[in-house]
Amino acid sequence: MQLPTFDDVVAAHERIRPHVHFTPVLTSSHLDRLTGARLFLKCENLQKIGAFKARGACNAVFGLSEAQAARGVLTHSSGNHGQALAYAAAKRGIAATIVMPETSARPKLDAVRGYGGRVVTCAPGTKAREEAVAAELERTGAEIVHPYADARVIAGQGTCARELIDETGPLDAIVAPVGGGGLISGTCIAAHAMAPGIKVFAAEPANADDAFRSKQAGHLVEDDAPQTIADGLRASLKPITFHYVHNAVEEVLTVSEAEIVAAMRLVWERLKIVIEPSSAVAVAAVLKNAQRFAGQTVGIIITGGNVDLDRLPWMG
């Protein structure tokens, strides 16, 4: 198992710089009052393709040799990583095939195609995704860029926390959502290298709590097709990402579906930014555990803003 290092994160930051945004960090006196903490929100909803996934995908694609790139790239994704890989492949001028669950949000399917990606749909669940990827690999021979169990992707995602800490200075804690675990793994690498005393918390839907159960059990516990409004967090950890959850994450905090929706709406109303349910999971975790974070400086990674505006969760 190849574990990326902070040097890999630094190299990734230089590699992707021409292709991604340096996203802003927002504050909210209202959220600070609710939590008793000083919160800094890293707004990856304003990133290329509307999510942090652009970082890992660009690092992987622009790190390929010419021979690898010529075969194109292949992945599976519920949406954001698929968009990111299609975007990065288009920037490099190579083909991208994205396996997506048939339940993926329509805007995410449309966006992948809009970036030039070829979409192959499959049944929901990790097993169905991986079987479809294996079939496409045999057909195309493309380079697989896994959405999170890939050292290149993890290093790219770590650039988000690096930028956050560069801007805010050392924080007491960082909270980020966890699905497959690429972002939380990269966050652990960057945060612990830059601010050794920092605590990294993973936030997870209670309806898709494989990371929570894995950390409690001390071994990997997979959940094939959980149902949660946070569609970007339905994937299960893999060995490389469980390594970081087990060894470097302070605690996995879970939140209910109602808490996710309430946090999402609160951010829309008070910060005037569009975030998707997966992003709201981290905000909800801090609100729910305000006593734990009171009096601290806390970074929250807002992971994306890709939502179906015709199906907002508070609409009747």
Residue ranges of domains in the chain, CATH in brackets: 6-51+150-302 (3.40.50.1100), 54-144 (3.40.50.1100)
How much is the pLDDT for 79?
Answer: 80
What is the pLDDT tens value at each position of the chain, 316 positions in all? 789 999 999 999 999 999 999 999 999 999 999 999 999 999 999 999 999 999 999 999 999 999 999 999 999 987 889 999 999 999 999 999 999 989 887 888 899 999 999 999 999 887 898 999 999 999 999 999 999 999 999 999 999 999 999 999 999 999 999 999 999 999 999 999 999 999 999 999 999 999 999 999 999 998 877 899 998 898 899 999 999 999 999 999 999 999 999 999 999 999 999 999 999 999 999 999 999 999 999 999 999 998 888 889 998 6
How much is the pLDDT for 105?
Answer: 77
Q: Which of 26, 134, 138, 156 is nearest to 87 (CA)?
A: 156
**CB distance 27 to 211 below 8 Å:** no
Q: What is the helix (H) or strand (E) element at residue 91, kind and residue range?
A: helix 80-92
How much is the pLDDT for 92?
Answer: 97
CA dist 281 and 198 (Å) reads 20
User: What are the DSSP E strand ranges found in the chain?
Assistant: 25-26, 38-43, 73-76, 96-101, 118-122, 143-144, 173-177, 199-205, 251-255, 297-302
State the residue for tokens 């209670």. 206
**CB distance 180 to 238 below 8 Å:** yes
Q: Which of 63, 70, 139 is nearest to 99 (CA)?
A: 139
DSSP string covering 107-124, please?
Answer: HHHHHHHHTTPEEEEE-S
How much is the pLDDT for 226?
Answer: 84
How much is the pLDDT for 124?
Answer: 86
How much is the pLDDT for 265?
Answer: 98
Helices (H), 141-256: 151-168, 182-194, 210-217, 239-247
Maximum Cα interatomic distance, the chain, rounded to a whole number of Å: 55
The answer to whether the predicted template modeling score (pTM) of the entire model surpasses 0.85 is yes
**CB distance 32 to 38 below 8 Å:** yes
SS3 165: helix
How much is the pLDDT for 199?
Answer: 98
Q: Which of 22, 48, 39 is nearest to 305 (CA)?
A: 48
How much is the pLDDT for 315?
Answer: 85
State the residue for tokens 């997506």. 100
How much is the pLDDT for 222?
Answer: 83
CA atoms within 13 A on the CB side of 227: 0
Question: CA 25 from chain center: how many Å?
Answer: 17
